Amino acid sequence: MKKQVKSSIWGKEDPETLALLRKERIRGVWLNLAAGDGRYNTLLLKKADKVVASDIDEKALKKLYYSTPPIIRKKLSIVTFDLTKKFPFKARHFDGVFCTGTLHLLPQAKLRHTIQEMTRVLKPHGKLIIDFAADIKRTLPSGKQHIIGNEPQYTLRQARAILKKLLVNFNMKVYESAVPEETIITKGRSYVFSCDFLLVVGKKQ
């Protein structure tokens, strides 16, 4: 049976990503890049000493901030910026960078820049946790595919090759998984979403 998802245009938290975050050692100051509605942000806050949640959408960040439990909100700060531009942080500033549900939306030139910036703001031996969706299908009731803007259509094989090239300065573990079909309802439109994805844990050399 297909799941109905109404609370977030990004769907529900991925069980494998949650399991990975619970397992991984997360300490120090972390950047939650493109945090959006902050699906994983509370878990990051429970483990890290401080989390900087960022997004291009200021309203989404404010909603995230005020929906965060007060007991851990004191460890949270929010910063609005475009991840395709230079990040407003000094080099070697963060112990970790977390980013999900976003990088696959970037064409290769912008993806290269964003990963370079992620690398720049990470401390030596800092940790990177990202996902990268591929073979995405958003099937409308008509049977046609819904594509967001100029979203690239990466295959899983392409995604592996691109990330291997761009994350050359990281020791990486790459896990392959898939999102089963779920019905997404947003702005009066519904579609059935599914994809494969790579979940990457990297340590900066």
Tell me the domains of the chain and their CATH numbers. 13-135+154-179+197-204 (3.40.50.150)
Reduce the DSSP state of residue 17 to 3 states and report it. helix
Residue 104 — φ and ψ, nearest 5°? Answer: -70, -15
**What DSSP string describes 28-90?**
SEEEETT-TT-TTHHHHHHHSSEEEEEES-HHHHHHHHHHS-HHHHTTEEEEE--TTS--SS-
| Each residue's pLDDT tens digit, 94-125 | 999 999 999 999 999 999 999 999 999 999 99
| Each residue's pLDDT tens digit, 24-64 | 999 999 999 999 878 899 999 999 999 999 999 999 999 99
Token digits of residue 112: 């290269």
**What global pTM score does this model have?**
0.90
Q: How many other CB atoms are there within 10 angstroms of residue 47's CB atom?
A: 15
Which residues have C-beta within 8 Å of that of residue 131, sequence separation ≥ 6?
14, 17, 99, 100, 101, 103, 197, 198, 199, 200
